[in-house]
Amino acid sequence: MTARLISADERRRLRNAQRRVMRARTNDFNWTDPCSRHLHLMADALAAGETYAMLTEEPGFCAETMLAVLESLWKLRAKVGGR
């Protein structure tokens, strides 16, 4: 895997986002599913400045994962009173 340079400001924002995700993921009321765990793996690799091989090797599968997580998020937001 090839690392890319990430600015100090970007690293700080990414670490903050990763902490928020882990707090949300470990909440007693929050269960994960395979798609959200896969998306988490992709995000952590990219946040570390690494490549994620599946993005190149199986972009359709990665896109399906992302879309499934978005679908779940948006359905939940609609259910709890979002727009």
Is the residue at 45 inside a domain? yes
Number of compact structural domains in the chain? 1
Separation CA 32–CA 52 (nearest Å): 21
Is residue 29 situated within a structural domain? no
Asked whether residue 46 carries a pLDDT value surpassing 70, the answer given is yes
- Mean pLDDT for 22-38 is 82
Q: Is residue 75 part of a domain?
A: yes
| Strand, helix or coil for residue 15 | helix
Sign of the C-alpha dihedral computed for residues 54, 47, 51 and 27 taken in this order: negative
Residue at 19 is within a domain: no
Model pTM score: 0.80
Is residue 60 assigned to a domain?
yes
Percent of the chain with pLDDT over 90: 71
Q: Tell me what pLDDT residue 3 has.
A: 59
- The range of the structural domain enclosing residue 43 comes to 34-83
pLDDT for residue 1: 45
